[in-house]
Amino acid sequence: MLSNYIFFVTSFMFVLLLVWKIPALNNAMQTFVNKTEGRAFPSSSPFEYNKFALLRVLFGAVIFLRGIDVVDLLLYSELNTVIGYYAIAEMLAGLMLVIGLFSQWALLFLIGVMWQIGDQVLGKSTLGNDIGAMLALLLILVNAGKFLSLDSLLINKMPALHGLMLYYRGVPSRAAIFYAKFAALTSYWAVCIYSLSMHLNEAAWMSGIAGPLLLTNNFMANFHIEFTELFTRSSMLVFLARVSLWLMMLWYIFVLPFVLIGGYFRKYIIVWGWLFFALSFFMLQLGYLAEIEAILWLALFWSYVGMRNDNCMDVLYDDRCNLCDRTVQLVTILDIFGRIRLKPLSKNTKLVTSLGLNLEEALTDLYGVCDADKKLFRGYDFYIQLSKSLVLLWPLLPILLLGKIFIIGPVVYRFIASKRRQIFGMCILPRKKYTVNEQRPVSHSRIPITLTLHVCFLTILYLVMVPAPYLNGYKGFSNLGGKAAHIYGITPINVFNMTDLRMAENWFVLKSDDFDQTVPLLSEDGSRLQMHKSDRIYFGHTLKFRRAAIGKEGCHYEDKKKIIDYISKIYLQSMHADPGFYNFSYSQLHQPLVSTEDLEVNLYPPKKKPVIFCDLKYKVTYP
């Protein structure tokens, strides 16, 4: 591990030296950005940095919630050990990202410490964290913590804190944003290529049978029972599941090239990616992988909806009314993409007249005029349109639409609007309005280009290690570089292989005799229950059992007694059990997969009933 860090740091310093000392390198990269940016990563807003700030909050929320799940299923005795310290530290890092406090340091901790060392301690290394490292690097490069955060308040009061908080001055330039996206996508593509190389050596993928086996896997698929029924009834569905796997392999190859080419090729990568993430989220159980990948995809490709500056809205408001003034004040704060232009009535009488309104009408309601079609919105409809225009108001849109459907919304609005001056009073000195359109200096930091080139350098070494069909990949220097690349989330993966698929064959069920219920770990049909919300329970315990049991008959209770006792104690803790001895039942079941021969001809015969390998009693001392 230490050698990986040493190689990472020394190679980064070498790349940094090249960037500072070779102007031609900078010029070549700038030319690449100029020619590629519009095709690969187009943007419709000069305020895209606020998008990254929003995604930082979402990313932090995912890390925080996942951390709660892990901490919630730790033994109390573990909380005051290195296991508990790492689990709590990861959760707190997620919270820091949500509120935007020392965000850069929180991201660096996750990338360089938590997901390199902490995961090993907790026994929960996951692909989700590797994708998270790619996303975290992107957020670092665009200074995502510097906006819509507590950090921004601190820096505005004390600009000297830029260095301590690891921010460069100004907003990220278009080139900096391009480098951040390119580095993240390159990292993601490298992992895809390694995964593809493994699949090309995997008979289950080359024949496509991994598709139906994955969807009917009781350990990984949410709807394995339903898919088993469908595949049993239809050979065509079995064939389509196989074909979808081959199409996935094609997508792996072109993730980066097609995005750089742009056009329909780029759209294909984006759309297929969303379909893949939707499959992972709704149909598969992969921890928080789907959520993290979705946030990464938004960081890379969300460029138009809710952000476009060519479809803004003029807002006419009574600048002598306290309620209107407060409403507009809030609107300007929520308008993080600069889509609203304020038009106080006292200074825009000509505009009022040109819209066919008289002053009395304008003083009664708030009005909005969209650039696209010059359509006029007033009153309650104005608030609906405003909620469509401002990203931060999107969660309110369903409520406002329901209010209109049931009429209560416009009625309440009309009552308040007609009485607003009597209720809220007059405003003689309107408040100063914040506007996102305020000019901010653009940064020309060399850190983004340096880190991007470093990612590319380590990616090359990583790809040299790829075990292409009938080859083992190179070792030595490239192996060290490939391991160092893991800091950026670039890691060898081999998912949904035959080993993963065969984990559906063996499982155990625990029952508490004293509480007369099944321990919420695994059900009678082998599917996961509530305790699997913790990645530590999943990756560190049940997954190990199910992999170790592949191809082995007989009872494995004695071999895995440590795991079973640990899970039993967590269950007793969740039940607030008193200290003492408790009785449990252990049942181990086996159900073979559908044969390869049947799947290769698109047949999915009914599965055999599970066989009970052993059924025994055991005692646990708690705590």
Cis peptide before 623 (omega within 30 of 0): yes
Is the alpha carbon torsion for 15, 18, 20, 22 positive or negative?
negative
Residue pLDDT, tens place only, 300-340: 999 988 888 777 888 887 766 666 667 777 888 888 998 88
Are 8 and 1 within 8 A, CB to CB? no
Residue pLDDT, tens place only, 168-180: 888 999 999 999 9
What is the distance between the terminal CA atoms of the chain, rounded to a whole angstrom? 35
Residue pLDDT, tens place only, 379-396: 888 889 889 889 999 999
Residue pLDDT, tens place only, 513-540: 999 999 999 999 999 999 999 999 999 9
Residue type, 359: L
Are 128 and 152 within 8 A, CB to CB? no
Residue 14 has pLDDT above 90, yes or no: no
pLDDT of residue 439: 52
pLDDT of residue 87: 96
Name the average pLDDT for the chain: 89
d(CA 542, CA 554): 18
What's the maximum distance between 2 C-alpha atoms anywhere in the chain? 87
pLDDT of residue 342: 84
Are 387 and 397 within 8 A, CB to CB? yes
pLDDT of residue 374: 77
- Asked whether the whole model's pTM tops 0.85, one would answer yes
Residue 362 has pLDDT above 70, yes or no: no
Residue type, 58: L
Residue pLDDT, tens place only, 192-230: 999 998 898 888 999 999 999 999 999 999 999 999 999
Cα 623 to chain centroid, rounded? 37
In DSSP terms, 368 is beta-bridged to: 315, 377
What is the helix (H) or strand (E) element at residue 114, kind and residue range?
A: none
Sheet strands side by side (includes 367-370): 340-344, 313-317, 367-370, 376-378
Say if residue 282 is exposed, middle or buried (CB neighbours under 10 Å; 0-12, 13-18, 19+).
Answer: exposed
Q: Say whether 47 sits in a helix, a strand or coil.
A: coil
What is the helix (H) or strand (E) element at residue 62, kind and residue range?
A: helix 48-72
d(CA 88, CA 290): 23
pLDDT of residue 428: 47
Residue 440 has pLDDT above 70, yes or no: no
Residue pLDDT, tens place only, 453-512: 999 999 998 888 777 665 555 555 567 777 889 999 998 888 888 888 999 999 999 999
Instruction: Give which of 409, 407, 412, 426 is closest to 363, Cα–Cα.
Output: 426
Phi-psi region of 397 (alpha: psi -120 to 50; beta: other; left: phi over 0): alpha
Percent of the chain past pLDDT 90, that is, above it, reads 63
